[in-house]
Amino acid sequence: MLMSKKKLLAKLKANAGKIKTETFDFGKIDRFFLLSDKKNFFQIISDRTFQDLDLDEVFMFLDRTVSKVGQQFLYHVLRTIPGNMERVEKFESIIQILKENPEIRDQIMLEIASLNKKDAYYISSLFLEKHIQKPGWFWIIPILSFTSLSLVLISFVFPKALIFLVLLLAVNFGIHYWNKINIYKYSGSIPQLLRLNQAAGNITKLDVIKDVSPDLTDSIKAIDSLGIQMSLFKIEVKLQSEVGLAVEYLVEMIKALFLIEPLVLYNVLKELDSKRTQIQQVYEFIGEIDVAMSISFLRDEVPYFCFPTLATDRKRLKAVEVYHPLIYQSIPNSIDLDKQSALLTGSNMSGKTTFIRTIGINAITAQTINTCFSREFTTSVLKIHSAIRISDDLLSEKSYYFEEVLAIKDLLEESGAGMPNLFLLDEMFKGTNTVERIASGKAVLSYLNKGDNIVFVATHDLELAELLKDRFSLYHFTEIVKEGKIVFDYKIKPGNLSNTNAIRILEINGYPKEVTEEATSLANRIFDSKVNGERSV
């Protein structure tokens, strides 16, 4: 049963800005991103960084879009950093218009809500993928169609012509059902394209919106010119869902006899092929409006946010009370780097890796949706790269260490590409011995820190912090052992970690006294030898 517009609008407004509970099909959501041209962007966020920063989950949190088109476009936005401010400025312009005209926003929500069916995911294929090509023998189809029509007309005068018509119908049925698989391929996307175009046409009639994309009218008219032919696909869908079998068989008989479907299909595909630019323009118009609404809804729902400040001076990053958007009641932290990078020490679960991810997520949202989860966020224009979540590749028999070597090699290559970068690393070279880990880590971090690059690295190696203290600002996270319990405050603190509780935590967890006493004695001896050795140098 169709929902009335009033009820639909009430439902849309009730859900506006709320986190979606539906299943996210990233295999379809990422179609526009994967297929579209990305050569003019400042950076494409890599799959590794996307996984390291849990950006799939971040996307699910950010996504407050109404349509599948908007959802695809938002994913594309989150994966691409533009080379200028035009996209962000357009979003902010739309957001301002919708805030000042809530009744217009409601009308737009109603229009694009009809593009929330899964078939709308495939609209992008119509202008980004290669269409089915005519077979070499296609020339015979118009002949067979014309012959069928001629025999029908002749049969009114010479009824015996029906015998030949029946024989021809058998041939035409074969071709008709051969073509069905091609029809089904477009039976979802083309009706959704018609709906997309209708929605865009209605939205552009709204006075305050028509200037958002002034050249759109010509593209809408170009697609409208295909409306009559493309309505065949609407009929196909209705036949499968709404009409009785008798009517369906009759219509199928007529379409098969005159080979209507293959003739219309390939003509439509030819026209669509010539109008790829116009279709993409209409698609992106709807996507931009939906994403702008989504950003506005998001800002209204989060505890607080800020507009980023893109610093003109290089190697600059400042975050005031920045928080991780996915962590409920996340502990905010602040950091101020000027011509410096950051090295963080601390135990596992103390918060250092989460903080690095927080900085990375905010650096991306700053440059993509002009929104930061912070009181203040200042950054240079940066490419974001990471080596955080690395694991063995069992299928290709690559060890953890080898995978890490390859990941960090990619960062070294990016550092010399002539663009400022933000490098995010966690526990480098865990797959090798302590001496070589520290030596290699120091050399790599010094190299990555060159020029305008900013490095955030987390480590357990306090020696590494000592070696880099002149080039990196040192910070640490720590835990407190209180009344036999481990308590984390998740607050960043300046300086290197001065004391650790690793052995004390073993005691709390019931390790044999003999083990903890020997560990304490040995740790003290190693520490003393290091201190005395340093003093004797």
Show the domains of the chain with their CATH numbers: 5-136+176-301 (1.10.1420), 309-500 (3.40.50.300)
pLDDT of residue 239: 47
pLDDT digits (tens, 9 = 90+) for 45-92: 999 999 999 999 999 999 999 999 999 999 999 999 999 999 999 999
Residue 51 has a pLDDT of 94
Q: What is the pTM of this model?
A: 0.89
- φ, ψ for residue 471, nearest 5 deg: -110, -20
Contacts of 209 (CB under 8 A, 6+ apart): 97, 104, 108, 203, 289
Residue closest to 308 by CA, chosen among 361, 363, 227, 259? 363
What are 466-524's pLDDT values in tens digits?
899 888 999 999 877 777 677 888 999 998 876 666 777 787 788 888 898 888 888 77
Q: In this structure, are strands 333-338 and 316-322 parallel, antiparallel, or unpaired?
A: antiparallel
CA 302 – CA 261 distance, rounded (Å) = 51
pLDDT at res. 347:
80
CA angle 383, 87, 31 (to 5 degrees): 75
CA–CA distance from 526 to each of 272, 437, 503, 521, 533 (Å)? 73, 18, 14, 9, 10
Identify which of 288, 353, 361 has the alpha carbon closest to the alpha carbon of residue 323. Answer: 361
CA–CA distance, 417 with 70 (Å, rounded to integer): 33
pLDDT in tens, the chain (537 residues): 456 788 888 888 888 888 999 999 999 999 999 999 998 999 999 999 999 999 999 999 999 999 999 999 999 999 999 999 999 999 999 999 999 999 999 999 999 999 999 999 999 999 999 999 998 998 998 998 999 889 888 888 888 888 888 888 889 888 888 888 888 888 889 889 999 999 999 999 988 887 787 789 999 999 888 777 766 665 554 544 444 456 667 777 888 888 888 888 898 899 999 999 999 999 999 999 999 999 999 999 999 999 999 887 789 999 999 999 999 889 999 999 999 999 999 887 888 999 999 999 999 999 999 999 999 999 989 999 999 976 545 444 457 778 888 889 999 999 988 899 999 999 888 777 888 889 999 999 999 999 999 999 999 888 898 899 888 999 999 877 777 677 888 999 998 876 666 777 787 788 888 898 888 888 778 766 654 555 443
* Per-residue pLDDT tens over the stretch 518-532: 888 887 787 666 545
